[in-house]
A and B are shown apart, each in its own frame.
Chain A
Amino acid sequence: MSLKRSDIENIAMLARLALSESEVPVYLESLSRIMALVGELERADTSSVEPMAHPLPGQRQRLRADAVTETDQHRLYQRNAPQTQADLYLVPRVIE
Protein backbone atom coordinates (compact mmCIF):
# COMPACT_ATOMS: atom_id res chain seq x y z
CA MET A 1 0.00 0.00 0.00
CA SER A 2 1.80 3.11 -1.15
CA LEU A 3 0.56 6.61 -0.43
CA LYS A 4 0.92 9.54 -2.79
CA ARG A 5 1.56 13.19 -2.11
CA SER A 6 -2.06 13.94 -2.99
CA ASP A 7 -3.21 11.41 -0.35
CA ILE A 8 -1.31 13.30 2.35
CA GLU A 9 -2.81 16.60 1.22
CA ASN A 10 -6.28 15.06 1.25
CA ILE A 11 -5.85 13.52 4.73
CA ALA A 12 -4.54 16.83 6.07
CA MET A 13 -7.59 18.58 4.62
CA LEU A 14 -9.96 16.04 6.22
CA ALA A 15 -8.14 16.44 9.57
CA ARG A 16 -8.15 20.26 9.26
CA LEU A 17 -4.38 20.46 9.61
CA ALA A 18 -2.41 23.11 7.73
CA LEU A 19 0.87 21.52 6.63
CA SER A 20 3.84 23.43 5.30
CA GLU A 21 5.47 22.47 1.98
CA SER A 22 8.36 20.88 3.84
CA GLU A 23 6.09 18.78 6.11
CA VAL A 24 4.30 16.97 3.27
CA PRO A 25 7.21 14.71 2.14
CA VAL A 26 8.06 13.93 5.79
CA TYR A 27 4.52 12.70 6.49
CA LEU A 28 4.40 10.89 3.13
CA GLU A 29 7.41 8.86 4.18
CA SER A 30 6.37 8.16 7.78
CA LEU A 31 2.71 7.42 7.03
CA SER A 32 3.81 4.99 4.30
CA ARG A 33 6.02 3.18 6.81
CA ILE A 34 3.25 3.10 9.43
CA MET A 35 0.74 1.75 6.92
CA ALA A 36 3.25 -0.94 5.92
CA LEU A 37 3.46 -1.94 9.61
CA VAL A 38 -0.34 -1.95 9.84
CA GLY A 39 -0.44 -4.13 6.72
CA GLU A 40 0.76 -7.05 8.89
CA LEU A 41 -2.84 -7.32 10.13
CA GLU A 42 -3.76 -9.00 6.85
CA ARG A 43 -1.95 -12.13 8.09
CA ALA A 44 -4.59 -12.75 10.77
CA ASP A 45 -7.59 -14.87 9.87
CA THR A 46 -10.50 -12.93 11.31
CA SER A 47 -13.27 -14.40 9.14
CA SER A 48 -15.21 -15.70 12.14
CA VAL A 49 -14.32 -13.01 14.68
CA GLU A 50 -16.61 -10.21 15.84
CA PRO A 51 -14.88 -6.82 16.19
CA MET A 52 -14.18 -5.95 19.83
CA ALA A 53 -16.55 -3.26 21.11
CA HIS A 54 -15.41 -2.87 24.75
CA PRO A 55 -12.16 -3.79 26.54
CA LEU A 56 -14.09 -5.54 29.32
CA PRO A 57 -16.14 -8.59 28.36
CA GLY A 58 -19.86 -8.22 28.85
CA GLN A 59 -19.69 -4.50 29.60
CA ARG A 60 -22.02 -2.09 27.85
CA GLN A 61 -21.92 1.65 27.66
CA ARG A 62 -23.81 2.98 30.68
CA LEU A 63 -26.49 5.59 30.06
CA ARG A 64 -27.39 8.37 32.44
CA ALA A 65 -30.79 9.88 33.09
CA ASP A 66 -31.71 12.60 30.61
CA ALA A 67 -31.64 15.33 33.25
CA VAL A 68 -29.82 18.64 33.53
CA THR A 69 -26.88 18.26 35.90
CA GLU A 70 -24.59 21.10 34.81
CA THR A 71 -24.88 24.57 36.23
CA ASP A 72 -24.19 27.61 34.08
CA GLN A 73 -20.47 28.34 34.38
CA HIS A 74 -19.87 29.97 31.01
CA ARG A 75 -17.87 32.86 32.47
CA LEU A 76 -15.45 30.44 34.10
CA TYR A 77 -15.13 28.38 30.92
CA GLN A 78 -14.75 31.42 28.68
CA ARG A 79 -11.66 32.52 30.57
CA ASN A 80 -9.84 29.97 28.38
CA ALA A 81 -11.40 31.21 25.13
CA PRO A 82 -9.16 32.94 22.58
CA GLN A 83 -11.81 35.61 21.85
CA THR A 84 -15.24 36.39 23.30
CA GLN A 85 -17.73 39.24 23.18
CA ALA A 86 -21.04 39.61 25.04
CA ASP A 87 -20.55 36.08 26.47
CA LEU A 88 -20.23 34.65 22.94
CA TYR A 89 -17.27 32.96 21.31
CA LEU A 90 -15.95 35.00 18.39
CA VAL A 91 -14.87 33.47 15.08
CA PRO A 92 -14.20 35.06 11.67
CA ARG A 93 -17.36 36.04 9.78
CA VAL A 94 -19.00 32.93 8.25
CA ILE A 95 -22.01 34.47 6.47
CA GLU A 96 -21.44 37.68 4.49
Chain B
Amino acid sequence: MTGWHANTLAELSAALQAGSVSSVELTGLYLARIAQHQGALNAFISVTQEAALLEAERADARLRAGERGALIGVPIAHKDIFCTAGQKTTCGSRMLADFVSPYDATVVERLRAAGAVMLGKTNMDEFAMGSSSETSYFGPVRNPWDVARVPGGSSGGSAAAVAARLAPAATATDTGGSIRQPAALCGVTGLKPTYGRVSRFGMVAFASSLDQGGLLTVSAEDAALLLTAMAGFDERDSTSVELPVPDYTASLEEPLKGLKIGLLQEFFDQGLDREIEQRIRDALDVLRLEGATLKEVSLPNLPLSVPTYYVVAPAECSSNLARFDGVRYGYRCERPRDLLDLYQRSRGEGFGAEVKRRIMVGTYVLSAGYYDAYYLKAQRVRALISADFARAFHEVDVLIGPTTPTAAFELGAKTGDPVTMYLNDIYTIGANLAGLPAISVPCGFVQGLPVGMQIIGPHFSEPRLLNVAHRYQRESDWHRRAPPGFT
Protein backbone atom coordinates (compact mmCIF):
# COMPACT_ATOMS: atom_id res chain seq x y z
CA MET B 1 0.00 0.00 0.00
CA THR B 2 1.50 3.33 -1.02
CA GLY B 3 0.10 6.84 -0.84
CA TRP B 4 -1.22 8.97 2.00
CA HIS B 5 -4.23 6.70 2.52
CA ALA B 6 -1.86 3.98 3.82
CA ASN B 7 -1.36 6.10 6.92
CA THR B 8 -3.16 6.19 10.22
CA LEU B 9 -4.99 9.36 11.25
CA ALA B 10 -2.20 10.08 13.74
CA GLU B 11 0.37 9.93 10.94
CA LEU B 12 -1.74 12.15 8.68
CA SER B 13 -2.11 14.60 11.54
CA ALA B 14 1.68 14.74 11.99
CA ALA B 15 2.17 15.28 8.23
CA LEU B 16 -0.38 18.13 8.21
CA GLN B 17 1.31 19.80 11.19
CA ALA B 18 4.70 19.44 9.51
CA GLY B 19 3.36 20.91 6.27
CA SER B 20 4.35 17.89 4.19
CA VAL B 21 0.80 17.56 2.88
CA SER B 22 -2.18 19.94 2.78
CA SER B 23 -5.73 19.26 3.88
CA VAL B 24 -6.95 20.06 0.37
CA GLU B 25 -4.63 17.39 -1.05
CA LEU B 26 -5.73 14.78 1.49
CA THR B 27 -9.41 15.64 1.14
CA GLY B 28 -9.15 15.44 -2.66
CA LEU B 29 -7.42 12.07 -2.40
CA TYR B 30 -10.09 10.56 -0.15
CA LEU B 31 -12.95 12.05 -2.22
CA ALA B 32 -11.41 10.42 -5.30
CA ARG B 33 -11.13 7.07 -3.48
CA ILE B 34 -14.77 7.30 -2.37
CA ALA B 35 -15.88 7.98 -5.96
CA GLN B 36 -13.75 5.11 -7.25
CA HIS B 37 -15.10 2.48 -4.81
CA GLN B 38 -18.66 3.66 -4.09
CA GLY B 39 -20.07 1.34 -6.75
CA ALA B 40 -18.43 -1.73 -5.22
CA LEU B 41 -19.05 -0.97 -1.52
CA ASN B 42 -21.98 1.48 -1.22
CA ALA B 43 -20.33 2.71 1.99
CA PHE B 44 -21.69 6.27 1.68
CA ILE B 45 -25.22 7.68 1.52
CA SER B 46 -24.02 11.18 0.66
CA VAL B 47 -20.66 12.68 -0.23
CA THR B 48 -20.31 16.35 0.73
CA GLN B 49 -17.61 17.15 -1.78
CA GLU B 50 -17.97 20.92 -2.11
CA ALA B 51 -18.32 21.56 1.62
CA ALA B 52 -15.37 19.25 2.28
CA LEU B 53 -13.05 21.14 -0.03
CA LEU B 54 -14.12 24.48 1.49
CA GLU B 55 -13.50 23.13 5.01
CA ALA B 56 -10.12 21.81 3.87
CA GLU B 57 -9.15 25.24 2.54
CA ARG B 58 -10.12 26.81 5.86
CA ALA B 59 -8.09 24.15 7.71
CA ASP B 60 -5.05 24.84 5.54
CA ALA B 61 -5.39 28.56 6.29
CA ARG B 62 -5.46 27.77 10.03
CA LEU B 63 -2.33 25.64 9.70
CA ARG B 64 -0.54 28.26 7.61
CA ALA B 65 -1.38 30.85 10.27
CA GLY B 66 0.54 28.71 12.74
CA GLU B 67 -2.43 27.22 14.56
CA ARG B 68 -1.80 23.72 15.88
CA GLY B 69 -4.27 20.99 16.77
CA ALA B 70 -4.21 17.25 16.09
CA LEU B 71 -7.39 17.26 14.01
CA ILE B 72 -6.96 20.43 11.93
CA GLY B 73 -7.41 19.40 8.31
CA VAL B 74 -7.89 15.67 8.95
CA PRO B 75 -10.69 14.27 6.75
CA ILE B 76 -13.27 12.03 8.44
CA ALA B 77 -16.70 10.56 7.65
CA HIS B 78 -19.81 10.69 9.82
CA LYS B 79 -22.34 7.90 10.21
CA ASP B 80 -25.60 9.17 8.69
CA ILE B 81 -27.25 9.05 12.12
CA PHE B 82 -25.49 12.28 13.24
CA CYS B 83 -27.20 15.53 12.29
CA THR B 84 -25.08 17.76 10.07
CA ALA B 85 -26.36 21.31 9.57
CA GLY B 86 -27.57 21.99 6.04
CA GLN B 87 -26.83 18.44 4.89
CA LYS B 88 -29.06 15.40 4.60
CA THR B 89 -29.33 13.07 7.60
CA THR B 90 -31.28 9.99 6.49
CA CYS B 91 -30.50 7.38 9.15
CA GLY B 92 -30.67 4.87 6.29
CA SER B 93 -34.44 5.28 6.10
CA ARG B 94 -37.04 6.26 3.53
CA MET B 95 -38.67 8.08 6.45
CA LEU B 96 -35.80 10.62 6.47
CA ALA B 97 -34.65 10.28 2.86
CA ASP B 98 -35.09 14.04 2.25
CA PHE B 99 -34.47 15.33 5.77
CA VAL B 100 -31.99 18.21 5.98
CA SER B 101 -30.64 18.71 9.51
CA PRO B 102 -31.31 22.20 10.89
CA TYR B 103 -28.33 21.86 13.28
CA ASP B 104 -25.14 19.90 14.00
CA ALA B 105 -25.01 17.03 16.47
CA THR B 106 -22.65 17.83 19.36
CA VAL B 107 -20.23 15.17 18.06
CA VAL B 108 -20.18 16.84 14.65
CA GLU B 109 -19.91 20.33 16.15
CA ARG B 110 -16.94 19.37 18.34
CA LEU B 111 -15.02 17.59 15.58
CA ARG B 112 -15.73 20.49 13.22
CA ALA B 113 -14.45 22.97 15.79
CA ALA B 114 -11.31 20.85 16.21
CA GLY B 115 -10.72 21.29 12.47
CA ALA B 116 -11.75 17.87 11.10
CA VAL B 117 -13.08 17.94 7.53
CA MET B 118 -16.31 16.02 6.78
CA LEU B 119 -16.09 13.89 3.61
CA GLY B 120 -19.67 12.61 3.74
CA LYS B 121 -22.22 10.51 5.55
CA THR B 122 -21.88 6.75 5.77
CA ASN B 123 -24.46 4.08 5.02
CA MET B 124 -26.00 2.05 7.85
CA ASP B 125 -28.80 -0.27 8.85
CA GLU B 126 -32.07 1.65 8.92
CA PHE B 127 -32.27 3.59 12.23
CA ALA B 128 -29.20 1.55 13.33
CA MET B 129 -31.34 -1.59 13.65
CA GLY B 130 -29.37 -4.47 12.23
CA SER B 131 -26.11 -6.40 12.33
CA SER B 132 -25.29 -6.53 8.62
CA SER B 133 -26.01 -3.09 7.06
CA GLU B 134 -28.48 -4.81 4.74
CA THR B 135 -31.61 -2.99 6.00
CA SER B 136 -30.63 0.44 4.61
CA TYR B 137 -33.19 2.07 2.30
CA PHE B 138 -30.17 3.03 0.18
CA GLY B 139 -29.09 -0.56 -0.41
CA PRO B 140 -26.68 -2.87 1.41
CA VAL B 141 -23.04 -2.07 2.22
CA ARG B 142 -20.45 -4.63 1.14
CA ASN B 143 -17.38 -5.88 2.97
CA PRO B 144 -14.13 -4.74 1.28
CA TRP B 145 -12.45 -8.04 2.26
CA ASP B 146 -15.05 -9.94 0.20
CA VAL B 147 -17.79 -7.98 -1.53
CA ALA B 148 -20.11 -11.01 -1.43
CA ARG B 149 -20.12 -10.64 2.37
CA VAL B 150 -21.64 -8.16 4.82
CA PRO B 151 -19.51 -5.57 6.67
CA GLY B 152 -21.53 -6.09 9.87
CA GLY B 153 -23.79 -3.41 11.25
CA SER B 154 -25.30 -1.17 11.99
CA SER B 155 -22.25 1.08 11.36
CA GLY B 156 -21.26 -1.00 8.30
CA GLY B 157 -20.68 2.00 6.04
CA SER B 158 -18.28 3.60 8.53
CA ALA B 159 -16.41 0.30 9.03
CA ALA B 160 -16.19 -0.49 5.30
CA ALA B 161 -15.04 3.08 4.55
CA VAL B 162 -12.21 2.92 7.09
CA ALA B 163 -11.21 -0.65 6.10
CA ALA B 164 -11.03 0.32 2.40
CA ARG B 165 -9.15 3.53 3.32
CA LEU B 166 -11.92 5.74 1.87
CA ALA B 167 -11.60 7.77 5.08
CA PRO B 168 -8.94 7.58 7.79
CA ALA B 169 -11.66 7.43 10.46
CA ALA B 170 -15.42 7.61 10.89
CA THR B 171 -17.89 8.27 13.66
CA ALA B 172 -20.35 5.53 14.54
CA THR B 173 -22.88 4.51 17.18
CA ASP B 174 -23.28 1.37 19.26
CA THR B 175 -26.56 0.24 20.83
CA GLY B 176 -25.91 -3.52 20.94
CA GLY B 177 -22.60 -3.89 19.12
CA SER B 178 -23.04 -1.58 16.11
CA ILE B 179 -19.45 -0.26 16.36
CA ARG B 180 -17.56 -3.33 17.60
CA GLN B 181 -19.22 -5.99 15.41
CA PRO B 182 -18.56 -4.18 12.06
CA ALA B 183 -15.06 -3.28 13.33
CA ALA B 184 -14.37 -7.00 13.82
CA LEU B 185 -15.89 -8.03 10.48
CA CYS B 186 -14.00 -5.33 8.54
CA GLY B 187 -10.65 -5.56 10.35
CA VAL B 188 -10.60 -2.09 11.91
CA THR B 189 -10.50 -0.67 15.45
CA GLY B 190 -13.89 0.16 16.99
CA LEU B 191 -14.43 1.99 20.29
CA LYS B 192 -17.74 2.21 22.13
CA PRO B 193 -17.25 4.61 25.05
CA THR B 194 -18.97 4.48 28.45
CA TYR B 195 -22.66 5.40 28.38
CA GLY B 196 -22.90 9.19 28.80
CA ARG B 197 -19.27 9.88 27.84
CA VAL B 198 -20.15 11.19 24.35
CA SER B 199 -23.17 13.45 23.84
CA ARG B 200 -26.23 11.95 22.17
CA PHE B 201 -27.56 15.39 21.16
CA GLY B 202 -28.29 15.38 17.44
CA MET B 203 -27.78 11.64 17.16
CA VAL B 204 -31.02 10.08 15.92
CA ALA B 205 -32.37 8.07 18.87
CA PHE B 206 -32.90 4.31 18.74
CA ALA B 207 -32.73 3.00 22.34
CA SER B 208 -31.80 5.89 24.61
CA SER B 209 -30.51 3.90 27.61
CA LEU B 210 -28.13 1.94 25.34
CA ASP B 211 -27.12 4.30 22.50
CA GLN B 212 -23.58 5.65 22.60
CA GLY B 213 -21.55 7.49 19.97
CA GLY B 214 -18.04 6.29 19.22
CA LEU B 215 -15.45 5.66 16.55
CA LEU B 216 -14.15 3.40 13.82
CA THR B 217 -10.45 3.96 13.13
CA VAL B 218 -7.35 2.20 11.87
CA SER B 219 -5.59 2.27 15.25
CA ALA B 220 -6.28 2.72 18.95
CA GLU B 221 -4.07 5.82 18.87
CA ASP B 222 -6.40 7.34 16.23
CA ALA B 223 -9.39 6.57 18.44
CA ALA B 224 -7.66 8.25 21.39
CA LEU B 225 -7.03 11.43 19.36
CA LEU B 226 -10.63 11.64 18.18
CA LEU B 227 -12.26 10.71 21.49
CA THR B 228 -10.32 13.48 23.24
CA ALA B 229 -12.06 15.98 20.94
CA MET B 230 -15.47 14.29 20.90
CA ALA B 231 -16.13 13.39 24.54
CA GLY B 232 -17.36 15.60 27.32
CA PHE B 233 -20.31 17.07 29.12
CA ASP B 234 -23.15 18.51 27.08
CA GLU B 235 -26.09 20.12 28.82
CA ARG B 236 -28.27 19.39 25.79
CA ASP B 237 -28.09 15.64 26.55
CA SER B 238 -29.75 14.91 29.88
CA THR B 239 -27.74 11.68 30.36
CA SER B 240 -24.39 13.29 29.52
CA VAL B 241 -21.95 12.79 32.39
CA GLU B 242 -20.31 15.72 34.16
CA LEU B 243 -16.77 14.37 34.37
CA PRO B 244 -13.57 15.93 33.01
CA VAL B 245 -12.18 14.49 29.75
CA PRO B 246 -8.59 13.25 29.99
CA ASP B 247 -6.14 13.42 27.10
CA TYR B 248 -6.67 9.84 25.93
CA THR B 249 -3.33 9.81 24.10
CA ALA B 250 -1.38 10.47 27.33
CA SER B 251 -1.65 6.93 28.72
CA LEU B 252 -1.32 4.93 25.48
CA GLU B 253 2.27 3.83 26.08
CA GLU B 254 1.94 2.74 29.71
CA PRO B 255 3.41 -0.74 30.25
CA LEU B 256 0.97 -3.60 30.79
CA LYS B 257 3.00 -5.18 33.59
CA GLY B 258 0.62 -6.28 36.33
CA LEU B 259 -2.52 -5.91 34.16
CA LYS B 260 -5.10 -8.51 35.24
CA ILE B 261 -7.10 -9.83 32.28
CA GLY B 262 -10.30 -11.79 32.81
CA LEU B 263 -11.11 -14.41 30.20
CA LEU B 264 -14.86 -14.41 29.80
CA GLN B 265 -15.78 -18.08 29.98
CA GLU B 266 -19.26 -17.48 28.60
CA PHE B 267 -17.66 -16.07 25.41
CA PHE B 268 -15.59 -19.18 24.74
CA ASP B 269 -18.71 -21.29 24.37
CA GLN B 270 -19.96 -23.80 21.84
CA GLY B 271 -21.17 -21.10 19.47
CA LEU B 272 -17.65 -19.75 18.96
CA ASP B 273 -15.82 -20.63 15.74
CA ARG B 274 -12.71 -22.65 16.80
CA GLU B 275 -10.38 -20.75 14.47
CA ILE B 276 -11.58 -17.43 15.89
CA GLU B 277 -10.93 -18.78 19.37
CA GLN B 278 -7.35 -19.60 18.31
CA ARG B 279 -6.78 -16.05 17.01
CA ILE B 280 -7.98 -14.64 20.35
CA ARG B 281 -5.73 -17.01 22.32
CA ASP B 282 -2.77 -15.99 20.12
CA ALA B 283 -3.51 -12.33 20.89
CA LEU B 284 -3.72 -13.12 24.61
CA ASP B 285 -0.24 -14.66 24.37
CA VAL B 286 1.02 -11.32 23.04
CA LEU B 287 -0.53 -9.48 25.99
CA ARG B 288 0.96 -12.03 28.40
CA LEU B 289 4.41 -11.34 26.97
CA GLU B 290 3.72 -7.67 27.66
CA GLY B 291 3.35 -8.53 31.34
CA ALA B 292 -0.38 -9.15 31.73
CA THR B 293 -1.76 -12.09 33.72
CA LEU B 294 -4.81 -14.12 32.72
CA LYS B 295 -7.60 -15.47 34.84
CA GLU B 296 -10.84 -17.22 33.88
CA VAL B 297 -13.92 -15.28 34.91
CA SER B 298 -17.56 -16.33 34.77
CA LEU B 299 -20.56 -14.02 34.39
CA PRO B 300 -23.42 -16.45 34.92
CA ASN B 301 -26.22 -14.10 33.78
CA LEU B 302 -24.45 -12.98 30.60
CA PRO B 303 -26.15 -15.64 28.40
CA LEU B 304 -29.41 -13.78 29.08
CA SER B 305 -28.08 -10.62 27.37
CA VAL B 306 -29.75 -11.25 24.03
CA PRO B 307 -33.29 -11.85 25.35
CA THR B 308 -32.89 -8.89 27.76
CA TYR B 309 -31.76 -6.64 24.92
CA TYR B 310 -34.65 -7.72 22.66
CA VAL B 311 -37.09 -6.41 25.25
CA VAL B 312 -35.33 -3.21 26.34
CA ALA B 313 -34.13 -2.00 22.91
CA PRO B 314 -37.44 -2.53 21.03
CA ALA B 315 -39.37 -0.96 23.94
CA GLU B 316 -37.26 2.20 23.78
CA CYS B 317 -37.30 2.13 19.97
CA SER B 318 -41.10 1.99 19.81
CA SER B 319 -41.25 5.01 22.09
CA ASN B 320 -38.51 7.01 20.30
CA LEU B 321 -39.84 6.32 16.81
CA ALA B 322 -43.36 7.41 17.75
CA ARG B 323 -42.20 10.92 16.75
CA PHE B 324 -42.26 9.96 13.07
CA ASP B 325 -45.87 10.80 12.34
CA GLY B 326 -45.79 12.30 8.84
CA VAL B 327 -46.75 15.73 10.18
CA ARG B 328 -43.73 17.84 11.14
CA TYR B 329 -40.93 16.24 9.14
CA GLY B 330 -40.14 13.03 7.36
CA TYR B 331 -42.05 10.92 4.89
CA ARG B 332 -45.79 11.50 4.33
CA CYS B 333 -48.00 9.09 2.38
CA GLU B 334 -49.93 10.22 -0.71
CA ARG B 335 -53.55 11.43 -0.32
CA PRO B 336 -54.32 10.49 3.32
CA ARG B 337 -58.05 9.91 3.95
CA ASP B 338 -57.91 11.20 7.52
CA LEU B 339 -55.39 11.75 10.32
CA LEU B 340 -55.27 8.08 11.38
CA ASP B 341 -54.69 6.99 7.81
CA LEU B 342 -51.93 9.60 7.52
CA TYR B 343 -50.15 8.23 10.61
CA GLN B 344 -50.57 4.57 9.68
CA ARG B 345 -49.63 4.74 6.03
CA SER B 346 -46.78 7.27 6.50
CA ARG B 347 -45.24 4.93 9.09
CA GLY B 348 -46.13 1.73 7.25
CA GLU B 349 -44.56 3.00 4.01
CA GLY B 350 -41.76 5.11 5.52
CA PHE B 351 -40.25 2.40 7.75
CA GLY B 352 -38.60 -0.77 6.46
CA ALA B 353 -39.39 -4.32 7.57
CA GLU B 354 -36.87 -4.62 10.44
CA VAL B 355 -37.75 -1.24 11.95
CA LYS B 356 -41.45 -2.13 11.87
CA ARG B 357 -40.65 -5.48 13.48
CA ARG B 358 -38.83 -3.81 16.37
CA ILE B 359 -41.50 -1.15 16.84
CA MET B 360 -44.07 -3.95 17.06
CA VAL B 361 -42.05 -6.02 19.55
CA GLY B 362 -41.58 -2.88 21.65
CA THR B 363 -45.25 -1.94 21.46
CA TYR B 364 -46.18 -5.47 22.53
CA VAL B 365 -43.83 -5.70 25.54
CA LEU B 366 -44.97 -2.28 26.77
CA SER B 367 -48.69 -2.91 26.25
CA ALA B 368 -51.20 -3.24 29.08
CA GLY B 369 -50.88 -6.55 30.88
CA TYR B 370 -47.41 -7.37 29.56
CA TYR B 371 -45.29 -4.53 30.97
CA ASP B 372 -44.38 -6.36 34.21
CA ALA B 373 -43.82 -9.73 32.58
CA TYR B 374 -41.50 -8.41 29.89
CA TYR B 375 -40.18 -4.89 30.39
CA LEU B 376 -39.77 -4.88 34.17
CA LYS B 377 -38.49 -8.46 34.09
CA ALA B 378 -35.89 -7.50 31.50
CA GLN B 379 -34.76 -4.47 33.53
CA ARG B 380 -34.34 -6.78 36.55
CA VAL B 381 -32.23 -9.23 34.54
CA ARG B 382 -30.28 -6.25 33.24
CA ALA B 383 -29.46 -5.36 36.86
CA LEU B 384 -28.20 -8.95 37.38
CA ILE B 385 -25.97 -8.77 34.28
CA SER B 386 -24.65 -5.39 35.39
CA ALA B 387 -23.86 -6.78 38.87
CA ASP B 388 -22.01 -9.73 37.25
CA PHE B 389 -19.72 -7.26 35.47
CA ALA B 390 -19.19 -5.19 38.63
CA ARG B 391 -18.18 -8.35 40.53
CA ALA B 392 -15.77 -9.36 37.78
CA PHE B 393 -14.08 -5.93 37.86
CA HIS B 394 -13.28 -6.47 41.57
CA GLU B 395 -11.01 -9.31 40.43
CA VAL B 396 -9.64 -8.16 37.07
CA ASP B 397 -8.88 -4.88 35.27
CA VAL B 398 -10.36 -5.76 31.87
CA LEU B 399 -12.34 -8.59 30.32
CA ILE B 400 -11.28 -10.06 27.00
CA GLY B 401 -13.01 -12.30 24.51
CA PRO B 402 -14.01 -12.46 20.86
CA THR B 403 -16.12 -9.63 19.40
CA THR B 404 -18.20 -11.95 17.21
CA PRO B 405 -18.88 -15.72 17.11
CA THR B 406 -18.05 -15.95 13.36
CA ALA B 407 -16.28 -13.94 10.65
CA ALA B 408 -18.27 -11.96 8.04
CA PHE B 409 -21.16 -13.93 6.51
CA GLU B 410 -22.60 -13.71 3.00
CA LEU B 411 -25.21 -11.12 2.05
CA GLY B 412 -28.68 -12.56 2.44
CA ALA B 413 -27.49 -15.45 4.64
CA LYS B 414 -29.38 -14.28 7.73
CA THR B 415 -32.03 -11.89 6.44
CA GLY B 416 -34.74 -14.57 6.48
CA ASP B 417 -34.52 -15.20 10.22
CA PRO B 418 -34.30 -12.23 12.60
CA VAL B 419 -33.40 -14.37 15.63
CA THR B 420 -30.34 -15.84 13.87
CA MET B 421 -29.33 -12.29 12.93
CA TYR B 422 -29.80 -11.09 16.52
CA LEU B 423 -27.44 -13.77 17.84
CA ASN B 424 -24.54 -12.07 16.01
CA ASP B 425 -24.46 -9.58 18.85
CA ILE B 426 -24.25 -12.22 21.56
CA TYR B 427 -20.80 -11.04 22.75
CA THR B 428 -21.32 -7.30 22.35
CA ILE B 429 -24.73 -6.63 23.95
CA GLY B 430 -23.55 -7.13 27.56
CA ALA B 431 -21.43 -3.95 27.53
CA ASN B 432 -24.41 -1.89 26.31
CA LEU B 433 -26.75 -3.27 28.96
CA ALA B 434 -24.23 -2.37 31.69
CA GLY B 435 -23.18 0.94 30.07
CA LEU B 436 -19.53 -0.18 29.87
CA PRO B 437 -16.82 0.95 27.43
CA ALA B 438 -15.45 -1.69 25.05
CA ILE B 439 -13.11 -1.80 22.09
CA SER B 440 -12.64 -4.27 19.23
CA VAL B 441 -9.17 -4.60 17.71
CA PRO B 442 -8.10 -6.66 14.68
CA CYS B 443 -6.23 -9.81 15.79
CA GLY B 444 -5.81 -11.91 12.66
CA PHE B 445 -7.73 -13.63 9.90
CA VAL B 446 -9.80 -16.75 9.34
CA GLN B 447 -9.86 -17.83 5.68
CA GLY B 448 -8.95 -14.34 4.56
CA LEU B 449 -11.57 -12.62 6.72
CA PRO B 450 -10.70 -10.38 9.68
CA VAL B 451 -11.22 -11.37 13.33
CA GLY B 452 -11.74 -8.95 16.23
CA MET B 453 -10.70 -9.20 19.87
CA GLN B 454 -12.97 -7.40 22.32
CA ILE B 455 -11.69 -5.68 25.46
CA ILE B 456 -14.32 -4.56 27.99
CA GLY B 457 -13.52 -2.36 31.02
CA PRO B 458 -15.24 -0.70 33.99
CA HIS B 459 -17.12 2.58 33.54
CA PHE B 460 -14.83 5.39 32.29
CA SER B 461 -11.84 3.07 31.79
CA GLU B 462 -11.33 4.26 28.18
CA PRO B 463 -7.71 5.27 28.95
CA ARG B 464 -6.98 1.68 30.03
CA LEU B 465 -8.79 0.07 27.05
CA LEU B 466 -6.96 2.31 24.57
CA ASN B 467 -3.67 1.61 26.37
CA VAL B 468 -4.13 -2.20 26.14
CA ALA B 469 -5.24 -1.95 22.49
CA HIS B 470 -2.33 0.34 21.61
CA ARG B 471 0.28 -1.88 23.28
CA TYR B 472 -1.17 -4.85 21.39
CA GLN B 473 -1.04 -2.89 18.12
CA ARG B 474 2.62 -2.03 18.75
CA GLU B 475 3.32 -5.77 18.78
CA SER B 476 1.09 -6.71 15.82
CA ASP B 477 0.31 -5.36 12.37
CA TRP B 478 -3.18 -6.77 11.74
CA HIS B 479 -4.66 -3.28 11.99
CA ARG B 480 -2.31 -2.01 9.25
CA ARG B 481 -3.52 -4.54 6.67
CA ALA B 482 -5.84 -3.20 4.00
CA PRO B 483 -8.07 -5.43 1.86
CA PRO B 484 -6.62 -6.44 -1.54
CA GLY B 485 -8.09 -4.19 -4.20
CA PHE B 486 -8.19 -1.21 -1.84
CA THR B 487 -4.49 -0.75 -1.14
Contacts and interface: CB of A to CB of B under 8 A. Distances in A.
Interface of A: 7-8, 11-12, 14-20, 23, 26-27, 30-31, 33-35, 37-44, 46, 49-57, 59, 61-62, 64, 73, 76-77, 79-83, 89, 91-94
A63 B419 CA distance: 38
Query: Which DSSP category, helix, strand, loop or mixed, fits chain A's interface?
Result: loop
A18 B349 contact: yes
Interface of B: 98-100, 102, 194-196, 209-210, 235, 238-239, 241, 301, 304, 306-308, 310-311, 318, 322, 325-332, 336-345, 347-349, 351, 353, 356-357, 359-361, 363-365, 367, 374, 376-384, 386, 390, 417-419, 422, 433-435, 459
B292 to A, nearest CB: 27
Given A15-B359, A83-B332, 9 more contacts: A16-B347, A18-B347, A30-B418, A34-B310, A40-B307, A44-B380, A57-B459, A92-B337, A92-B342
A18 B338 CA distance: 13
A56 B389 CA distance: 12
Contacts of A49: 380-381, 383-384
A28 to B, nearest CB: 10
Contact of A38 (B310, B322, B349): B310
Nearest to B368: A14
Nearest to A30: B418
Contact of B347 (A17, A26, A83, A94): A17
Nearest to B329: A80
A80 B102 contact: yes
A6 to B, nearest CB: 13
A46 B377 contact: yes
A89 B326 CA distance: 10
A51 B342 CA distance: 37
Contacts of A94: 338-339
Contact of B364 (A11, A17, A53, A59): A11
Contacts of B419: 30, 33-34, 37
B384 A17 contact: no
B327 A91 contact: yes
